Structure 1
Amino acid sequence: MINLLASEWLKLRSLRATAYVLASTLSALALTGLAAFSVSRYFDTHGAGGEPVGTGLGFSADLTAVLFGLLGVLAISGEYGTGMIRLTLITVGRPWILLLAKAVVVATVAAVVGQALAFAAYLTAQAAVGGRPIGASLSEPAALSEVLATGVGSAAAVLGLGLATLLRSTPGAIVALAGLLLAPTMVERFLPAPWNDWTGSLTVPSLTRQLGGVPDSGAFGPLAATMILAGYVLLTLLAASCAITRRDA
């Protein structure tokens, strides 16, 4: 298993697309900085009353989830595109082991990069806020836990991997990923209460904030959010494992 993990790590870091996707996550810092600056200017002009900046992580949460999901898609879709997946499966022998190794690698990379990005985004937001009382100190309740929980957004990478395994198409997996991550936010607008709150709380970014215990971040508590997020990952991996075993073995 260690050799397989090393092999999958080598594959992932040798992909040029991996570098592009990880570099694209830096756009989250720019988005966070611009949004925090805009809110700060509103505060200077109109005073309190607008949305506070807080940790600033909410400004780019959807973007980073999609990018990390894209990382998961590219971890396997290229092998389907070139046909190398069959040689890999013959070498490994057990398809589900290959899928598990890929999931561990992409989740680890996304978690490490995501956690570093979370702290960088937090610092960017607080720099834009300056001394205004609309930011959030890490000593405040739920602020540090929100920043630390952001690394759990690596679940999106596993979702992308699973969708690419099921669909065996890079464009198809990207479209499905975007729909899966963003659809609840769009659907909630057309639902009555309390169904709209429940639906909007089911997105990966929202579940991540709820997992961190952020007040008014959704309809679920930390334990329920953790279970739902884990359910996403397990169901996706189970479906992908069945697909890769039956169709590609």
Structure 2
Amino acid sequence: MATSISPAPAQQRPRQPSTTGSGVTFGRVLRSEWIKVTTVPSTVILIASTVVVMVGLAALFAWSLTIMAQSINDPSVPAEFQAPTEGPGSAAFQALTTPSSGLVFGQLLIASLAVVLIASEWATGMIRSTMVAVPKRTPALLAKAVIVAVVAFLVGFASAFLSYLIAQLILQSENLDFALTEDGVFASVINTGTFLALVAVISMSIGILLRNTAGGVVTAVGIFFVLPIIVQLISGLADWIPDAARFLPADAGTQMVAVTTADEALTQWEGGLVMGAWALVLLVVALITAKKRDV
């Protein structure tokens, strides 16, 4: 009985990779990082909490200024306890700082958020997936820094602007309200966002260097809150310490968002340049270190 032999199938050619599309681009990496930040519920909650805290503190500060203004004409308050009617200590002058009055706690929350967003990827191992999708580490980490900085700026600017609007409703009862175009006020609102953006970059750089959430948060808090206190305590030991303290991130940031600055202090521009230098140096060091380490 004859058997038919079917011819062997022709050898299949290997499928050629598609040449369509632009592949991994920095714009696409930015988009993916934006999706990561805006779709995680805990991140969105922390961002919303930052806005609420900053606006709430500004409202409380504005309310305290109205009480201060009322005490000026109150005969039951001793003269030595009454606030001045003019100058930096007056209620009218301090009212100009209400848009950025919640910045102290705002930078704490933004610093924590920036550290968590990057350090948690190393803790969970997600950083490996990121580096597989984007083999070059610098664009991947730089995209994270850009997105976090943009989010921090928007949070800071929106919080300062909302703080201004709400504060006006409270301050007008004592005729302490002021225009957004008042000297230095609008610049302070913008710089509130810029300062938080730089805080985010510094904190994310710390997270990249340490790769540990708890360690990164503690280090960021130490730089922005603990270090200025320590420097203030030891400022009497040497004359150069107070001069050097002006270049700490917290002190430079304070001058950056200030409406007016003292003669011996850094100006708004100088404070911004100091903060920018801190952010740039730490980011460059973090990127170089990340390229030399294993994921």
Give the structure-1-normalised TM-score: 0.89
Counterpart in the other structure of 1:125: 167
Distance (Å, rounded) in 2 between the aligned partners of 1:133 and 1:187? 39
Distance (Å, rounded) in 1 between the aligned partners of 2:242 and 2:159? 30
Counterpart in the other structure of 1:168: 211
Distance (Å, rounded) in 2 between the aligned partners of 1:35 and 1:236? 34
Q: Does structure 1 residue 230 correspond to structure 2 residue 230?
A: no
SS at match of 1:172: helix
Distance (Å, rounded) in 2 between the aligned partners of 1:60 and 1:188? 23
Structure 1 96/27 Cα, relative in aligned 2: closer, same or farther at 3 Å?
Answer: same
Match among 209, 234, 246 for residue 292 of structure 2 = 246
Match among 259, 262, 265 for residue 214 of structure 1 = 259
Distance (Å, rounded) in 2 between the aligned partners of 1:62 and 1:106? 19
Structure with greater Cα Rg: 2
Match among 64, 68, 79 for residue 38 of structure 1 = 64
Structure 1 outlier segments of 4+, above 4 Å: none
| TM-superposed deviation, 1:84 | 1.5
Q: Which amino acid aligns with 1:35?
A: F
Distance (Å, rounded) in 1 between the aligned partners of 2:246 and 2:229? 8
**Counterpart contact for 2:98–2:167, Cα < 8 Å:** yes
Distance (Å, rounded) in 2 between the aligned partners of 1:223 and 1:143? 15
Q: Which amino acid aligns with 2:139?
A: I
Counterpart in the other structure of 1:9: 34
1:192-211 equivalent positions in 2, closer than 5 A? 192=236, 195-196=241-242, 199=245, 202-204=248-250, 206-211=251-256
Structure 1 138/194 Cα, relative in aligned 2: closer, same or farther at 3 Å?
Answer: farther
| TM-superposed deviation, 1:39 | 2.3
| TM-superposed deviation, 1:6 | 0.8
Offset from partner CA, 1:9-41 (integer Å, 9 cap, x none) = 111112222112112111111111112212211
Q: What is the aligned-residue identity percentage?
A: 29
**Counterpart contact for 1:57–1:118, Cα < 8 Å:** yes
| TM-superposed deviation, 1:46 | 3.1
Structure 1 127/201 Cα, relative in aligned 2: closer, same or farther at 3 Å?
Answer: farther
How many residues end up aligned between the 2 structures?
248
Give the structure-2-normalised TM-score: 0.76
**Counterpart contact for 2:249–2:275, Cα < 8 Å:** no
Q: Does structure 1 residue 88 correspond to structure 2 residue 130?
A: yes
Q: Which amino acid aligns with 2:286?
A: A
Cα RMSD of the aligned pairs, angstroms, is 2.3
Q: Which runs of 5+ in 1 are unaligned?
A: none
- The range that moved more, 11-20 or 98-107, is 11-20
Distance (Å, rounded) in 2 between the aligned partners of 1:155 and 1:144? 19
Structure 1 126/184 Cα, relative in aligned 2: closer, same or farther at 3 Å?
Answer: farther
In terms of fraction of residues, the more helix-rich structure is 1
